[in-house]
Each structure stands twice: as C-alpha cells, then as structure tokens.
C-alpha cells in the first residue's frame, strides 16, 4: 500500500484528521470490548464503481433503521444529477459514433442543454418540463442504439449502471412531491469520499462497518482503517472486464480490481483477518457474457473456455489464486448488490464467518 503518503499540505492535514478520527474509533472499540461487548470491525474495500457503496446502503436498509423521509430527501439532488449527467453522456456517444437524432429530439436537446445544469454547485432539479424532455430523449432510436451498444468495443462509453432504472421511472422523479424510495437510494450513484461508518446489532452481535472511497485518489485514506479489523469484505465487479477506469482510461477495471485484491489479501495488515470476496454485479455479467468474452480483459486474455459458468469460475480462480498467503483463506460469494434478498442472505453467511473467526481468536473454537 505504498500510495498512502500525502503529497500536499492539504493532503497531510486531511490525513492527520482522519488518523485522529480512526484512533478515536479504535478507542471506542476498546472501551466497548472492555465492557464485555465484542465488536466486529468490518472493512468494505474495492475499486471504484464495484458496487461497494450499494452493498453498504443495503446493509443500512436491512439491519439499521433504513432511511426516514429526511434521509431519503437528501438523495434527491444526487438522483437528479445522475439522470442529467447520463443524458449528457448519451448525447456525447450519439455525436462520437455518428448516430442521427430525430428532428424532434434535436429541438429537445437544445432545450435540455440550455436548461440543464453543468456546474457542480448548480441547482440540480428535474421539474415536469425537464422530465418530459428527458423521457422523449430516452425513447429516441439513436439514443436507444447508443445505449444498447455502450459495451461494444467499437462504440463503448461510460454510463452508470442505474441510468436505465431512473430513465424508466422519470414520471415519478419529475413529480412535485417526489421523495426517493429505498430502491432509488440503492440505485443512486454517489462517489464515496473519505470514510463512512455504521454500527449494527444483529442477533446480539455488534458490527461496525466502514465504507471507504474506491477511486485511486481515495485509497491513501484506507491505511487509517486497517487496525483491529475482524474481516475485509472486498467487492469486485464481475461486469467490468471490458471497461476502463473512470479516473484512468488506459487501465482496465478488472485488472485494477485483481491487482488491488492481490495487494489487500497479501498485506501484513490482514494476515490474521478474514478475507471475504464478493464477485458483484452478477446480473449484468450474466447478460454481458452472452456477447462479450472475458478475454477483453488483459488479465483474463489466457482464458480458453466460453460461456457463463466457465467464465465465472475462471474469474473466481484468478482472484482467489492472487492471494498467496499460506495462512489466509478467501471466502467467495457471487452477488447482486442491488438485490435486497441476495445481500440479506449472503450477509448471514458473512456473520457466521466473522463470529467463528472471533470465537477462534478467543480460543473457543479450534479452527476459524
């Protein structure tokens, strides 16, 4: 984890504050343990856009109190921003790859680009008129063609995974009394910056879960979370094998995830920590693999099979064998973080792994 050093005075000041915060959190954990309250510290790690924060939001939804009205309202601006930026990305793809918009859509595009915000601090809002324009733009044949071809090598472009979901419910989003529901919150894309923490009590067991940003610039903050970790939950997107990083178009996303998992799973920080691997976005992968082979990823170019089952097994093998620590065991689960039931079921298994690990460390089990 050699990229954890600050580069500027501002970086150093921010990291110093985060280090102090982590020390305080560790003190709180120690106090709870002294009081006879065993706390399981779980760290959510993964590259950007892996679905890590989606998994975290599902846990809040399932095991915390969920999201009240005020909490849900706080996501409105981000949802508007997700949708508006997705329209901009679609228009850019239409221009780049030479698709032709209908004449009516050309007029709607003019209205959209004159009205929709572009500045980060602007008032991001989708009212009735803007919503109607977006709804019509989304149905344009050229836009639909660009969307369907977004993963093809010759016509690829970035579009966040929740775009289609929100376009299809634009009538609800544009309503005056729109308040995001919990499904909207799970689908909403917000880049994690810094460290987000939640505590849960499940069946008498106390869990403290930390979600940290996955982009490269965020990873220098991770090291402040590494102490006293019961388990690392590493989220990797199955569907990213033919995509590049948002922050570096020259780097393949899955290659980045494999290298990052190798770094984490072999780190001395986690020699005694349970490593739980989530191969996420299974639903998207299952569809994509029908037309795009995993050999599009440089790290998977030596794969000689075909089809869903063999491709999935090969990806799992590549991740698991990158962990070379003889004392380490990788527990792997195939997940769809947007599916509440799937996350709830799999987290039951995670609890079992974590509790058994803690009992083994306490000398109550022979093997974890």
- Spatial contact of 75 and 188, defined as CB atoms under 8 Å apart: yes
181 is catalytic: no
Rounded (10°) CA dihedral 96, 97, 98, 100: -100
Burial code (b: 16+ CB inside 10 Å, e: under 16) for 82-113 equals bbbbbbebbbebbeebebebeeebeebbeebe
Hey, how many other C-beta atoms are within 10 angstroms of the C-beta on 253? 23
182 is catalytic: no
**What is the widest separation between alpha-carbon atoms in the chain?**
73
Single out the catalytic residue among 18, 49, 140, 256: 49
316 is catalytic: no
24 is catalytic: no
30 is catalytic: no
Single out the catalytic residue among 109, 189, 208, 219: 189
> What HEC string does the chain produce?
CCCCCCCCHHHHHHHHHHHHHHHHHHHHHHHHHHCCCCEEEEEEECCCCCCHHHHHHHHHHHHCCCCCHHHHHCCHHHHHHHHHHHHHHHHHHHHHCCCCCCHHHHHHHHHHHHHCCCCCCCCCCCCHHHHHHHHHHHHCHHHHHHHHCCCCHHHCCCCCCCHHHHHCCHHHHCCCCCCCCHHHHHHCCCCCCCEEEEEEEECCEEEEEEEECCCHHHHHHHHHHCCCCCEEEEEEEHHHCCCECCCCCCCEHHHHHHHHHHHHHCCHHHCCCEEEEEEECHHHHHHHCCCCCHHHCHHHCCCCCCCHHHHHHHHHHHHHHCCCCCCCCEEEEECCCCCHHHHHHHHHHHHHHHHHHHHHHCCCCCCC
Single out the catalytic residue among 215, 295, 328, 332: 215
Distance CA 232, CA 229 (A): 7
Q: Please state the residue numbers annotated as binding site for Mg(2+).
A: 53, 192
Q: Please state the residue numbers annotated as binding site.
A: 49-54, 192, 211-215, 280-283, 337
Single out the catalytic residue among 76, 140, 161, 211: 211
Q: Which residue numbers are catalytic?
A: 49, 54, 189, 211, 215
């Amino acid at each position: 984890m050699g990229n954890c050093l600050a580069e500027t005075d501002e970086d150093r000041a921010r990291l110093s504050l985060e280090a102090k915060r982590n020390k305080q959190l560790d003190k709180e954990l120690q106090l709870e343990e002294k009081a006879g309250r065993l706390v399981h510290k779980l760290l959510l790690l993964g590259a950007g856009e892996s679905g890590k924060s989606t998994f975290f939001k599902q846990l809040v939804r399932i095991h915390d109190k969920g999201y009240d009205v005020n909490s849900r309202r706080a996501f409105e601006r981000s949802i508007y921003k997700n949708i508006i930026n997705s329209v901009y990305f679609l228009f850019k793809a239409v221009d780049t790859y030479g698709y032709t918009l209908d004449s009516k859509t050309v007029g709607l595009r003019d209205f959209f680009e004159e009205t929709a915000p572009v500045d980060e601090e602007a008032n991001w809002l989708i009212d009735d008129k803007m919503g109607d324009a977006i709804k019509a733009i989304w149905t344009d044949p050229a836009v639909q063609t660009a969307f369907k071809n977004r993963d093809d090598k010759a016509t690829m472009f970035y579009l966040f995974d929740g775009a289609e979901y929100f376009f299809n419910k634009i009538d609800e989003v544009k309503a005056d009394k729109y308040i995001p529901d919990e499904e909207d919150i799970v689908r909403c894309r917000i880049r994690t910056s810094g460290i987000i923490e939640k505590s849960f009590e499940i069946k008498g067991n106390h869990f403290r879960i930390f979600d940290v940003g996955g982009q490269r610039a965020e990873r220098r903050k991770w090291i402040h979370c590494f102490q006293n970790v019961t388990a690392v939950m590493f989220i990797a997107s199955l569907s990213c094998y033919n995509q590049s990083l948002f922050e570096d178009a020259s780097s393949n996303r899955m290659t980045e995830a494999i290298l990052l998992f190798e770094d984490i799973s072999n780190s001395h920080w986690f020699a005694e920590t349970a490593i739980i691997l989530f191969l996420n976005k299974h639903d998207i992968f299952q569809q994509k693999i029908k037309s795009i082979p995993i050999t599009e990823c440089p790290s998977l170019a030596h794969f000689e099979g075909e089809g869903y089952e063999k491709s999935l097994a090969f990806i799992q093998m590549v991740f698991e064998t990158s962990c070379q620590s003889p004392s380490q065991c990788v527990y792997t689960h195939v997940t769809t973080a947007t599916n509440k039931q799937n996350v709830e079921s799999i987290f039951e298994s995670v609890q079992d792994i974590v509790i058994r690990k803690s009992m083994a460390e306490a000398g109550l089990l022979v093997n974890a």
